[in-house]
Structure 1
Amino acid sequence: MVFAIEEINNSTELLPGIKLGYEIHDSCSTVPVAMHVTFQLSNGLDPVFYTGDNCSQSGLVMAIVGESESTQSISMSRIIGPFNIPLVSHFATCACLSDKQYYPNFFRTVPSDQFLADALAKLLKHFGWTWIGAVRSDSDYGNNGMASFLQAAQKEGICVEYSESLHRTDPRSRIQRVADVIRRSTAVVIVAFTYSPELTLLLGELSLKPSPPRQWIGGYWPTNQEMLKFNFCAGAIGFGIQKSVNPGLREFLLDLSPTKVAASPVLTEFWEDAFNCRMGKNAAKDETVCDGTEDIQTLKSPYTDTSQLRGTNTVYKAVYAIAHAIHSAACEDANSTAQCDKFTRMESKQVLSQLKKVNFSQNGYDVSFDANGDPVARYDLVNWQQSESGSIEMVTVGLYDASQPEGQEFSIDRNLTWMDGGKDVPVSVCSESCPPGTRKVLQKGKPICCYDCISCPEGEISNTTDSPNCFPCPKEFWPNAERDTCFPKPVEFLSFDEVLGIILAAFSVAGACLAIVTTAIFFRHRTSPIVRANNSELSFLLLFSLTLCFLCSLTFIGAPSDWSCRLRHTAFGITFVLCMSCVLGKTVVVLMAFKATLPGSNVMKWFGPLQQRITVVSFTFIQVLICTIWLCLSPPFRFENLTIYKERIILECALGSAIGFWVVIGYIGLLALFCLVLAVLARKLPDNFNEAKLITFSMLIFCAVWITFIPAYVSSPGKFTVAVEIFAILASSFGLILCIFAPKCYIILFKPEKNTKKHLMNKNQS
């Protein structure tokens, strides 16, 4: 402070012609002494110190620099607040002092603990530490700072295993209890919001019975050179006030003549302690006397080391801030020169008002105050690293700037050393992170950082680490085995590429070929008695319809579309009705032929070829009409079935109108039943080759297949529904062609001697 004031008094730009005076008091780190001094300053100084024309007025204090601790600063600010005397602290960091309602005259050149608390929480989050221990000084600084930190830590998802307080005046039993809590804890990282004296007591106790390695994190204490003696804290990380180099300060500090030392009790005490001697009259008989040959230039102590000036720099800023405020109140700047009136009657209220507007740069650092009297929060990130000699030294490894965007506050430009000198970031969590594919479930009665990892349920995923919830995949998607990604569900349908589809298609083509071959055989032998006797016209029409029946099953294979769905059901319905109409016609012809052989019967004229054609066309037209109504009102359509299987999509044909489908099936069944009844009635007609018996067998097979089809169709899942339908079509078609036409083809090809009119008319032979 003295160095800064003398620098200002010698300046030609700042307060030219005005000399700043000062008086320094020691609060002895106690509130009563600080309050006593504050009352003295607010009452004015004894005029005896101000003689002649050196001062503008008698003993009026314009501003106070201090205090270094928050508790004393709170008391001082409350005393001098009503007098509008500004208090500029260089080290009081309690966030409570930012409240202008209670402390309207308070300013500081060190960031508030609120910024430090946020910085500590973000540092923990940056390195992934979520399970920590906390130690604080039992003071305004420690209690308020820790409260701010715990609030910031909670926002970042950090949990505190324990939070202990201690004071420098506590009995040793209290210090031992806190040390035991640290030894028993599972948290690897400890955040210490303490003054150096309290932490010195705690670390001293821990050194007696070492605890497991701990990663120490702190505010300002890691920048205290005297704390470096605790080697087991190697790797500690802390935030420090930005250090700076003040040109000329080292020379000023070392410019100590014996006369200056003797004139100051403080310097005398320092001199005697530094050189282990006694000044003149203070020396006892057996003590070394300081004889003036001591050379401070050779002294190595924190006093002479100006490489780590942090708190010193905030004092420097505080003095300059007050000087700039006085300059703004007492001087006028014109033409790049300042004119100051040292005799102007200035009041502290003016200085207070101008302090709020201060904005200047000194030695490369900007100085200004926000609405709460706080500066911009910038900290050096300090790491305790072991040097080659084995000693612990402070190393600035980065910068924290609260004015930067979220997530970009840290700028780390050097490697850090961790606890026990390790190179790997220590892990301090209550529970290991839950990988993607799982979710966190809190453990009962424990903080939110203690949890179990539970796999996501079926159909849900989590794609981030430590996800609190699992999310269902969209309906067209399904999770992978790890349940961390949704993939499109595979689409399933009966295709020509799979074994089942190939087998069914092969039987379908084989059936169609069999029908064509049979047609060719019948056409080749169309004049033979067995062909002519069995109504060749209806036989050829029946073979044609069977060929279509075999081929229509192919429309059921492959990826469904709206048009293929309409085609497959209508083609199936119409071709089978055509087939049943032909069979029905053949059955009726057999019955009528037998009736015609009876004496006086003229039945055949009522069921000749024309009537047979009309019957087939009429029955078929009814089915065509049913299918047309079905297609017009509610036709089948392509449908993605997501309900049968959760993990895949079944591509199928929805019926549109279920009534339409079952009417089509029911009509076919009705004709088949009618055919069966007529065939049963004609099965014992006395013919050497009784076609009614063959039709009866074929109808029994047909009805058995389709009666079995109904429950199988309803219960079959997915593509197997289509396979059941194709199987029913093929089985019934093969039943018809084999039962009705195979015996005839056998006689035509292998028993030509039976293919005669005489043989067919011989009723006595079997």
Structure 2
Amino acid sequence: MLGGIFSFHSSWKDRWDTYIHKPLPLECTSLNFRGFQFAQAMLFAIEEINNSTDLLPGISLGYRIYDACGSIAKSVRVALALANDNDVESRPSESPCARPAQVQAIMGASSSSPCMAIATVIGPFHIPMISHFATCACLSDKTKYPSFLRTIPSDYYQSRALAQLVKYFGWTWVGAIRSNNDYGNNGMATFTETAQQLGICLEYSVSFFRTDPPDKIQKIINIIKASTSKVIVAFLSHMDMDVILHRLSHDNLTGYQWVGTEGWIFDFHTAAMDRHHILDGAIGLSIPKANVSGMREFMLNVRPLNSSSNEMFREFWETLFSCKFKQSKSSAVNQRECTGHEDLTGGQNSFTDMSLMPIFNNVYKGVYAVAHALHNILSCNKTCNNKVQLDPFTILQHIKNIQFKTKEGDEVYFNENGDPAAKYEIINWQPTENDIVDFVTVGLHDASLPANKQLYLKKKSITWAQNSQQVPLSVCSEKCLPGTHKVLQKGKPICCYDCIRCAEGEISNITDSITCVRCHPDFWSNERRDACIKKEAEFLSYEEIMGALLTAASLFGTCITAVVAIIFFRYRKTPIVRANNSELSFLLLFSLTLCFLCSLTFIARPSEWSCMLRHTAFGITFVLCISCVLGKTIVVLMAFRATLPGSNVMKWFGPTQQRLTVLGFTIIQVLICILWLTISPPFPFKNFKEFKDKIILECALGSTVGFWSVLGYIGLLAVLCFILAFLARKLPDNFNEAKFITFSMLIFCTVWITFIPAYVSSPGKFSVAVEIFAILSSSFGLLICIFIPKCYIILLKPEKNTKKNIMGKREPKSF
């Protein structure tokens, strides 16, 4: 004996219990043809098994079917009636089974909440319960519902598949409506969780039940009107969808893209109600199509006269054909009388619609699962062992472990949670010319495949809302293009953001970037901030104007020095050359040549050798130069002292002492440079801080103490030379060289004193240019002040280039 619990009615009359009298039985309303279809599918499977010689030979299956009318309370009541063999409120059909025992299994119910209640009650008795349409993922919990199985996939997979479908089309801002029951609430909870993982946001999520008052449903309509999302995910049963569709039609809310579950997406009755084309273009998941041969003919072979004792069938027939079998005083005068021979196949109604054949097939497979389990328990070969005591627990265990194929080739089995394999077709509502919706399969979803292969869609075959061929756009914020990044709007979901341009030196090269990536120090962001481009390396080069001018000045100074040296060499025996210590003069000219040339080491790309050479060459050549000038100054002072009576100073500062003085001063600088190069030498350095979009190639000092020691030593010698020259400026020679040395040292000191702040404050290559300018200007100052007056006398005033004229005495003039 098999039990069946189906909803032949979809609602019931509300009543107020006074608790004074015993409550009356629940009065069901709103006849539901779908419940009849499910019952007919069960009867078809039972009849097919009873007529089979291969399955349960010698055993007949009987049935007891109850109407739960969608009520949880009544579902539990009739389930207990089935478990206890109690006929209260039952509507059993006549059955050939003469064994008045409890049912071996229960088929149904059609929704999740009643199934949860029933499974909780009958679970301790281990009575198998197989549902064809209860999809709540919560029913997979075998600790709570140990005897529950189903032939339809769990909503755990459907909810995740819906989220993947929404993500596939780029909809990140959607609304959600659900049935306020276990089916809707649990399914939407899983969808919401998966959607958040995929970056999808819900603008709103509302629930309702078909028995809710109109004002509550109107609030939901108002929420939809006020929303900005254009996609609505509806986790609704077909009965709840019919209610909300009626209100949507009243407000003519078209233009929304609906995404649905198997609860309504392939329901012919819902499509027939949509006269305002509210749901045109809807897309959603459905159970894969199925065709059970002979089932359609069996379902349509319903004759109330053959079931005259069953009031349910009479009500069904009268509702289907709008007639009455017997006229009553309360009946309408013009209402026609039923003949009982009306043609079911002649009209188009929700009962004759076979679009729910996949669900009918689920009922069919459930009955066969029980039959195969009984077949195994009763050790059926040619006949079954009728003496075997049927135990509900044994039946349950065998059902869990069965695996067979139906005559149509469908494989039937249950996993450890009592669920079948999760496979869905993706259905698209495409209106036809006759205002009839065509349910077109546009894709598949197979949860058994790897995550990246589960979803398959024929995108070009889809018709969208308002008969559009373009995928609707439903986002809170437009995509952030490369070069920008997302910044969340305060108090709003993560899908609502502003696109902020990346800062300088940062890029984003992908759409909807969360952050901007900082470029490598050698690179800088382009104008669009979507790519890093190599920074321009900046250094003082020969090719640019400033570098060329400084190079020309350096070479010009070298040439002038060479010309002066040639003049001095040619006129080396003249009094003016001999009187000014020709040996120190030639050494000074040589050192000035080196000073002019060492400025060239500061130009071009810095390298390890050029960095070490430029500072050390500069330091040593300038010390050599200042040492020569200092030597000449000391010679002038000593020469004046030597003219005094009794003075023999010159023997202490002769040519040998002069050479040793220059050599000694220079060696000190060489030692300083050697220590500098040994401890922490200068090295090539990329300066990223000076300019954002350029790399300054420069020479880092290494040891700043070494650098300032070199400069300090030069400055010390220059100051000493200046003081001595200043003291000798009024010596009574006709051609007093100390005057010119004083001028040259004044220029030298002035240049290098102003060099320090200019060098520190100059950016990039300009600091190098400042240093070269200081070297050249101080070198030119020494050359011009010390040697040009002599050249003037030698070349233009040869009459003054005599010993007499040079030794002539005149009154000293003030400086």
TM superposition score normalised by structure 2 = 0.85
1:350 to 394, 415, 437: 394
Aligned to 1:383: 428
Change (3 A) 1:281 1:340: farther
**Cα distance in 2 between the residues matched to 1:50 and 1:555:** 112
The answer as to 2:469 corresponding to 1:428 is: no
500-509 vs 616-625, greater mean Cα deviation:
500-509
Query: Is the 1:221–1:238 Cα contact (8 Å) retained in structure 2?
Result: no
The answer as to 2:273 corresponding to 1:227 is: no
Change (3 A) 1:598 1:31: closer
Cα drift, residue 338 of structure 1: 8.1
Cα drift, residue 251 of structure 1: 3.9
Query: Is the 2:253–2:278 Cα contact (8 Å) retained in structure 1?
Result: no
SS in 2 for 1:514: helix
1:367 to 389, 412, 416: 412
Cα drift, residue 683 of structure 1: 1.9
**Cα distance in 2 between the residues matched to 1:623 and 1:56:** 125
364-373 vs 234-243, greater mean Cα deviation:
364-373
The answer as to 2:774 corresponding to 1:733 is: no
**Cα distance in 1 between the residues matched to 2:314 and 2:374:** 34
2:291 to 214, 229, 245: 245
Q: Deviations over 1:622-662 (max 9, x none)?
A: 11111112222222222333343444433322222211111
Name the amino acid aligned to 1:499.
Answer: I
**Cα distance in 2 between the residues matched to 1:3 and 1:253:** 8
Aligned to 2:67: 26
Cα drift, residue 126 of structure 1: 2.2
Q: Deviations over 1:217-244 (max 9, x none)?
A: 2212121111223212211122111221
611-620 vs 3-12, greater mean Cα deviation:
3-12
The answer as to 2:186 corresponding to 1:144 is: yes
Aligned to 1:397: 442
Name the amino acid aligned to 1:329.
Answer: I
The answer as to 2:372 corresponding to 1:324 is: yes
Cα drift, residue 548 of structure 1: 0.9
Aligned to 2:554: 508
1:382-531 alignment to 2 at 5 Å? 382-414=427-459, 415-531=461-577
1:41 to 76, 82, 87: 82
Query: Is the 1:56–1:345 Cα contact (8 Å) retained in structure 2?
Result: no
**Cα distance in 2 between the residues matched to 1:604 and 1:623:** 27
Query: Is the 2:581–2:632 Cα contact (8 Å) retained in structure 1?
Result: yes
Aligned to 1:124: 166
**Cα distance in 2 between the residues matched to 1:212 and 1:485:** 44
Aligned to 2:144: 102
Query: Is the 1:245–1:307 Cα contact (8 Å) retained in structure 2?
Result: no
The answer as to 2:175 corresponding to 1:133 is: yes
**Cα distance in 1 between the residues matched to 2:341 and 2:71:** 37
**Cα distance in 2 between the residues matched to 1:650 and 1:502:** 19
Cα drift, residue 92 of structure 1: 1.0
Name the amino acid aligned to 2:674.
Answer: T
Query: Is the 1:137–1:198 Cα contact (8 Å) retained in structure 2?
Result: yes
Name the amino acid aligned to 1:341.
Answer: N
The answer as to 2:233 corresponding to 1:188 is: no
Query: Is the 1:504–1:727 Cα contact (8 Å) retained in structure 2?
Result: yes
Aligned to 1:584: 630
**Cα distance in 1 between the residues matched to 2:58 and 2:589:** 127
The answer as to 2:206 corresponding to 1:160 is: no
Aligned to 2:358: 310
Name the amino acid aligned to 1:413.
Answer: K
Q: Deviations over 1:532-577 (max 9, x none)?
A: 2322221111111111111111111222222222111111111111
Query: Is the 2:304–2:313 Cα contact (8 Å) retained in structure 1?
Result: no
SS in 2 for 1:431: coil
The answer as to 2:786 corresponding to 1:743 is: no
1:260-275 alignment to 2 at 5 Å? 260=306
**Cα distance in 2 between the residues matched to 1:501 and 1:212:** 74
1:535-614 alignment to 2 at 5 Å? 535-614=581-660
**Cα distance in 1 between the residues matched to 2:710 and 2:809:** 41
Seq. identity, %: 57
Aligned to 1:79: 121
Change (3 A) 1:678 1:286: closer
SS in 2 for 1:64: strand
Name the amino acid aligned to 2:367.
Answer: V
Q: Deviations over 1:738-757 (max 9, x none)?
A: 22122222333333343344
412-421 vs 355-364, greater mean Cα deviation:
355-364
The answer as to 2:752 corresponding to 1:706 is: yes
TM superposition score normalised by structure 1 = 0.91
1:624-703 alignment to 2 at 5 Å? 624-703=670-749
Aligned to 2:220: 178
Query: Is the 1:57–1:345 Cα contact (8 Å) retained in structure 2?
Result: no
Cα drift, residue 193 of structure 1: 1.7
Name the amino acid aligned to 2:391.
Answer: E
Q: How many residues align?
A: 759
**Cα distance in 2 between the residues matched to 1:593 and 1:285:** 154
Cα drift, residue 457 of structure 1: 4.3
Name the amino acid aligned to 2:410.
Answer: Y
User: Which runs of no fewer than 5 residues in structure 2 stay unpaired?
Assistant: 1-41
Query: Is the 2:177–2:234 Cα contact (8 Å) retained in structure 1?
Result: yes
Cα drift, residue 729 of structure 1: 0.9
Cα drift, residue 271 of structure 1: 5.6
**Cα distance in 2 between the residues matched to 1:135 and 1:111:** 21
Cα drift, residue 161 of structure 1: 2.7
312-321 vs 729-738, greater mean Cα deviation:
312-321
